[in-house]
């Protein structure tokens, strides 16, 4: 405190920070990247452990004897689904009723803002079927959910069969203290969104659905089951939900504990766990797993039906069957035992899961990185923006340097008259800020609003029109400096670009900081690309080289790099042409996710991040 309260010492510290500003910023950036990459090294991570005492180990043996019967039910479900060409509602209702459940249906309709060409749908109509097993030993104020989406073709038929088999087995047990809801939802996330909104009496996305006729208690936890093969070699745990939300870590710990107990091979991000962490290949494997989780979380989209439960503070995860590791095999009976054991543990909960972490990264199922370990990596990047802002503040507060004419105090002599340098006007700073955000508003609103006009004048589909319009508006923003100068009288001052950059630096620091608190992965990826150009861009750098670097590090190009990196980490590399098509698909999916489920990534990039990048672009071409 004495260092900051003493004016002389404070002045000396400020001079030191401004004199060594650039080297300190470079060191902070390298240290932030190195810190993040070091998080995958096992000695720097924590071992997972169960925090909730109610889900501790017991002597109970998990049982489920009806694995083959569940597969037969799944085949029967597939036959009826093929016969009716969709969800066999009547058959599901009769089957659930025969298992002693209270069965209800919910119809829903949803019109997409533009056709989803990936799944070939525009007007979506469907029906959800759910059965409730009432708790025989409790006042029925709480509930658990087991769901299985009714997917197209032969996908997920085995999951529905196992769900019905578990319903029949659970009905014979008397120890349930919570209602158990068995849900088969149609049209994946759209159906799940309709059911959740109906269950909680909300309508945040504008869907049209019928009210639920039957409800259970307050939902404490949920699992979504995805099995598409009679032969399952491993179970993959999917955690990433809407807007980067994650379930309580105890839910992942519970899954891993039962996999270890029963002897089921388990993966996360589709990758097996390795024990050779002290080797280069072992570290690389852990780093790839963690980076896959970062990229999925940064996308902001729900990676399974469980992702929508998290919005309602319901701890949920998806369990996905994988048939790829040929030396292993897990039968349906074993998977049923695992699920029965997990629901027994969740049934013991006296309160919601809250004792473990909600913010974490997982390089493997047995290790995790807590928020206290990974936030310093982002902090090292964010402090660069504050250091550069401090340097600009000092420059603006100091007296102007001597000019080329050598007149002290920055005064200029013209025809014998001494003129003081003009200070930047409010208009010169406010104009680029307003125009940048107007461009962001256009990027957010026009692609969907102008799709009909684009289809009429160009030979493109509605989806292509939306994506190409977004790209066109994004590219048109490169002409922003020219448009800004046309609105301003005269040329900008030297102090003008410094004030504008100071505003942009502080604006970006606040944006990235708030983003990282909500979705660390998205904030960190944006900081990796935006912080270098925000720190070192000035009007005096070489225009061509600086413009090329800024374009390569723009938000759009960062998204393109992430698409290729994601494919590489999944060990499914793509060509440049296929990668470009995936990039266009990601853009359309991001806009759809925002319209259908309320994903915040697209409005964040369009309304805030892109305008901030345009401010930096305007600084480069400042006149």
Reported confidence tier of residue 412, pLDDT bands at 50, 70, 90 = very low
Out of 185-194, 272-281, 514-523, 530-539, which region has the weakest mean confidence (pLDDT)?
Answer: 272-281
Q: What number is the average pLDDT over the span 155-177? A: 92
Q: What is the mean pLDDT of residues 185-202?
A: 92
Helical segments of 126-248, H only: 157-171, 188-200
- Contact at 8 Å (CB) between 29 and 380? yes
Give how far Cα 25 sits from Cα of 21, 33, 374, 548, 618, Å. Answer: 6, 13, 19, 22, 22
Q: What is the pLDDT of residue 492?
A: 59
Q: How many Cβ atoms sit within 10 Å of the Cβ of residue 578?
A: 13
- In terms of average pLDDT, the best of 149-153, 320-324, 452-456, 543-547 is 543-547
Count of Cβ atoms closer than 10 Å to residue 214 Cβ: 15
Position 1 confidence tier, pLDDT thresholds 50, 70, 90? very low
Q: The tokens of 495 are what?
A: 């102090």
**223-232, 303-312, 479-488: least confidently modelled range:** 479-488
Which pLDDT score, from 0 to 100, does residue 63 have? 86
Cα 353 from chain centroid? 22
Q: State residue 358's pLDDT score.
A: 92
Alpha carbons 271 and 286: distance in angstroms, whole number? 9
pTM, to two decimals: 0.90
Strand partners, 114: none
pLDDT at 4 over 70: no
Give the per-residue pLDDT at 553. Answer: 94
pLDDT band at 380; cut points 50, 70, 90: very high
What's the gap between Cα 588 and its chain centre?
16
Domain 53-365, CATH number (from 3.40.630.10, 3.40.50.300, 3.30.930.10, 3.40.640.10): 3.40.630.10
For residues 301 and 193, the answer to whether their CB atoms sit within 8 Å is no
What confidence score (pLDDT) does residue 584 get?
94
**Is the pLDDT at 236 greater than 80, yes or no?**
yes
**Average pLDDT of the residues in 575-583:** 93
pLDDT-wise least confident of 450-454, 513-517, 614-618: 450-454
> At 10, is the pLDDT very low, low, confident or very high (cuts 50, 70, 90)?
low
**pLDDT confidence of residue 85:** 86
**What was the pLDDT predicted at 413?**
44
List all residues 6 or more positions away from 338 whose beta carbon is below 8 Å from its beta carbon. 62, 235, 258, 259, 262, 264
Q: How many CB atoms lie within 10 A of CB 409?
A: 12
Mean pLDDT (the chain, rounded): 87
What's the confidence (pLDDT) of residue 307? 93
Q: What is the pLDDT of residue 479?
A: 83
Q: Which residue has the higher pLDDT, 471 or 274?
A: 471
Contact 335, 279 (CB under 8 A): no
Q: Which residue has the tokens 């494919």?
A: 567
Three-state SS annotation for 517-537: HHCHHHHHHHHHHHHHHHHHC
Question: DSSP assignment, residue 187?
Answer: S
| pLDDT reading at 458 higher than 50 | yes
Answer yes or no: are the C-beta atoms of 396 and 467 closer than 8 Å: no
Strands (E), 323-393: 360-364, 367-370
E strands in 299-411: 315-322, 360-364, 367-370
Q: What band does 5 get if pLDDT is binned at 50, 70 and 90?
A: low
Contacts of residue 615, Cβ cutoff 8 Å, sequence gap at least 6: 432, 433, 436, 500, 503, 504, 507
CA–CA separation, 305 vs 309, rounded Å? 8
CA end-to-end span of the chain, whole Å? 42
Q: Looking at the DSSP assignment, which residues form a beta bridge with residue 110?
A: 124
Q: Where are the domains of the chain?
A: 7-39+374-621, 53-365
Q: Provide the 8-state DSSP code for 138.
A: S
Span 601-620, average pLDDT? 94
Q: What is the pLDDT of residue 406?
A: 39
């Amino acid at each position: 405190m004495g260092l900051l309260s003493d004016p002389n010492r404070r002045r000396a510290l400020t001079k030191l920070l401004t004199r060594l500003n650039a080297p300190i910023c470079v060191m902070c950036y390298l240290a932030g990247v190195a810190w993040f990459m070091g998080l995958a090294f096992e000695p720097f991570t924590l071992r997972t452990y169960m925090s909730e005492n109610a889900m501790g180990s017991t002597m109970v043996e998990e049982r489920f004897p009806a694995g083959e019967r569940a597969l037969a039910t799944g085949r029967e479900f597939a036959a009826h689904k093929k016969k009716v060409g969709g969800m066999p509602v009547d058959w599901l209702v009769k089957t659930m009723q025969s298992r002693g459940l209270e069965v209800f249906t919910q119809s829903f309709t949803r019109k997409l803002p533009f056709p989803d060409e990936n799944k070939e749908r525009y007007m979506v109509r469907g029906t959800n079927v759910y059965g409730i097993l009432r708790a025989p030993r409790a006042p029925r104020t709480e509930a658990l959910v087991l769901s299985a989406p009714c997917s197209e073709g032969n996908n997920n038929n085995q999951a529905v069969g196992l769900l019905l088999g578990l319903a029949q087995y659970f009905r014979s047990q008397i120890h349930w203290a919570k209602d158990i809801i068995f849900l088969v939802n149609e049209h994946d996330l759209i159906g799940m969104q309709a059911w959740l909104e109906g269950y909680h009496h909300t309508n945040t996305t504008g869907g049209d659905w019928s009210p639920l006729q039957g409800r259970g208690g307050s939902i404490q936890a949920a699992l979504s089951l995805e099995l598409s093969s009679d032969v399952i070699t491993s179970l993959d745990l999917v955690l990433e939900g809407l807007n980067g939300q994650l379930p309580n870590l105890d839910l992942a710990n519970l899954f891993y504990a039962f996999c270890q107990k029963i002897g089921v091979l388990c993966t996360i991000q589709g990758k097996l766990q390795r024990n050779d962490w002290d080797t280069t290949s072992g570290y690389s494997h852990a780093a790839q797993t963690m980076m896959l989780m970062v990229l999925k979380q940064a996308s902001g989209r729900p990676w399974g039906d469980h992702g929508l439960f998290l919005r309602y503070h319901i701890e949920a995860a998806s369990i996905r069957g994988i048939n790829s590791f040929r030396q292993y095999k897990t039968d349906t009976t074993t998977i049923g035992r695992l699920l029965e054991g997990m629901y027994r543990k969740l049934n013991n909960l006296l309160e919601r899961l809250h004792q473990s972490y909600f913010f974490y990264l997982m390089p493997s199922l047995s290790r995790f990185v807590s928020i206290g370990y990974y936030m310093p990596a982002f902090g090292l990047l964010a402090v660069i923006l504050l250091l550069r802002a401090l340097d600009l503040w000092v420059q603006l507060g100091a007296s102007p340097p001597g000019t080329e004419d050598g007149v002290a105090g920055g005064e200029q002599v013209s025809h014998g008259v001494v003129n003081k340098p003009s200070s930047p006007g409010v208009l010169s700073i406010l104009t680029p800020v307003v125009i940048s955000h107007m461009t962001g508003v256009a990027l957010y609103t026009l692609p969907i609003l102008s799709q009909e006009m684009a289809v009429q004048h160009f030979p493109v589909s509605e989806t292509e029109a939306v994506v190409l319009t977004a790209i066109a508006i994004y590219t048109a923003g490169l002409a922003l400096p020219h448009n800004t100068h046309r609105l301003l009288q005269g040329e900008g001052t030297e102090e003008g670009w410094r004030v504008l950059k100071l505003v942009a630096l502080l604006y970006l620091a606040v944006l990235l900081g708030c983003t990282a608190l909500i979705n660390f992965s998205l904030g960190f990826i944006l900081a990796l690309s935006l912080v270098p150009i925000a720190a070192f861009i000035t009007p005096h750098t070489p225009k061509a080289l600086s413009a090329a670097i800024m374009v390569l590090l723009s938000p759009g190009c960062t998204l393109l790099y992430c698409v290729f990196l994601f494919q590489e980490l999944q060990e499914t590399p793509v060509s440049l042409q296929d990668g470009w098509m995936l990039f266009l698909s990601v853009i359309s999916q991001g806009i759809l996710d925002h319209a259908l489920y309320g994903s915040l990534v697209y409005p964040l990039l369009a309304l805030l991040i892109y305008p901030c990048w345009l401010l930096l672009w305007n600084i480069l071409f400042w006149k």
